[in-house]
């Protein structure tokens, strides 16, 4: 892959996301100020913006309008931010460090963190309904439905529930995979499909390939997360390292060993690339992004 080109592109997307999110989030001076502060604190100034990059890269396949893509990508990043705030709460993972900063409930307080997450979820749906994201408004309603399902009890929130229930238990590999397909995978797949739907002219078969790409990349993302959690330090990760193992959570590394987990990530990467074959040059960015997700070091 053309490293300098990809690095420049990913910086551009991250920069564009930061500006867009800063504009879409309510200013801190507006009451209730503490709530708006907490929402901005947890959404701005950090993160790899992988989900936004996936939406933008998928948008290249469908030739989507960048103005639409940035709203769709912002909605996904806002949902991601809300999920991290709630995931870090004492009754969930009870984590104090996120992206190298104190977590929301540590910086503010538990109640504010709870409400900031709640309000961020509402904001994401507000944006998806407020801005024009598709030529046909019926199509846009379908996108909102798809996204809401990805967030809900049979998507991200369901995955978190299964994850919590798994603490101290031994999951089988298929059970672990199912959990991650919901917990992280649902939003990653939705990011890819969002980007694709912001444009036009993709056939159902092509959308199916992109969805499978999203599924493989989502799983690879989680496998690599587990590998980094096993190998990394809190300094490079920006979050508490070794936390999952310590908390008795089943991980890919605990279930299949470090070496096999690394190999599995490579297999998923190959599967992801295979789904992109029919798109030729238009999917180059999605291919680079899959490489980035598997080869990242934090």
**Contacts with a second copy, residue ranges (CB under 8 A):** 26, 30-32, 34-36, 39, 86, 89, 91-92, 109-112, 114-115, 117-119, 121-123, 125-126, 128-130, 136-138, 140-142, 144-145, 148-149, 151-155, 157-158, 160-162, 164-165
Contacts of 12 (CB under 8 A, 6+ apart): none
Closest CB to a second copy among 183 and 285? 183
Q: Quickly tell me which residue has 């930061």 as its tokens.
A: 18
**What's the min distance (Å) between Cβ of 87 and a second copy?**
10
Q: Give the pair of three-digit tokens for residue 281.
A: 């040059």
Q: Give the pair of three-digit tokens for residue 178.
A: 């199912």
**What's the min distance (Å) between Cβ of 134 and a second copy?**
10
Closest CB to a second copy among 130 and 267? 130
Closest CB to a second copy among 14 and 114? 114
**What's the min distance (Å) between Cβ of 107 and a second copy?**
15
**What is the full DSSP assignment across 134-172?**
SSSHHHHHHHHHHHHHHHSTTTHHHHHHHHHHTTTS---
156 within 8 A of 83, measured Cβ to Cβ: yes
**What's the min distance (Å) between Cβ of 59 and a second copy?**
20
**What's the min distance (Å) between Cβ of 51 and a second copy?**
16
185 within 8 A of 150, measured Cβ to Cβ: no
Closest CB to a second copy among 35 and 52? 35
Contacts of 62 (CB under 8 A, 6+ apart): 195, 196, 197, 198, 199, 200, 201, 202
Closest CB to a second copy among 128 and 261? 128
């Amino acid at each position: 892959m053309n490293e300098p080109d990809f690095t420049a592109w990913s910086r551009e997307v991250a920069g564009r996301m930061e500006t867009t999110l800063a504009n879409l989030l309510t200013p801190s001076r507006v009451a209730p100020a503490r709530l708006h502060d907490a929402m901005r604190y947890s959404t701005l100034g950090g993160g790899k913006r992988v989900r936004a990059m996936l939406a933008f890269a998928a948008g290249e396949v469908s030739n989507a309008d960048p103005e639409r893509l940035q709203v769709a990508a912002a909605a996904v990043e806002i949902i991601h931010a809300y999920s991290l705030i709630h995931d870090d709460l004492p009754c969930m993972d009870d984590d104090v460090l996120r992206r190298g900063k104190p977590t929301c409930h540590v910086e503010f307080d538990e109640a504010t963190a709870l409400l900031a997450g709640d309000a961020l979820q509402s904001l994401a749906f507000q944006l998806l309904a407020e801005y024009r994201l598709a030529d046909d408004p019926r199509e846009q309603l379908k996108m909102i439905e798809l996204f809401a399902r990805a967030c809900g009890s049979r998507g991200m929130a369901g995955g978190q529930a299964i994850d919590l229930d798994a603490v101290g238990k031994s999951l089988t590999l298929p059970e672990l995979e199912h959990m991650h397909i919901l917990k992280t995978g649902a939003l990653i797949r939705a990011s890819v499909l969002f980007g694709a739907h912001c444009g036009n002219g993709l056939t159902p078969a092509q959308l199916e390939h992109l969805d499978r790409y999203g599924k493989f990349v989502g799983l690879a993302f989680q496998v690599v997360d587990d590998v980094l959690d096993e190998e990394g330090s809190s300094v490079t990760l920006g979050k508490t390292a070794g936390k999952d193992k310590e908390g008795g959570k089943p991980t890919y590394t605990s279930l299949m060993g470090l070496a096999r987990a690394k190999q599995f990530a490579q297999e998923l990467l190959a599967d992801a690339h295979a789904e992109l074959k029919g798109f030729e040059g238009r999917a180059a960015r999605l291919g680079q992004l899959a490489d980035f997700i598997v080869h990242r070091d934090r």
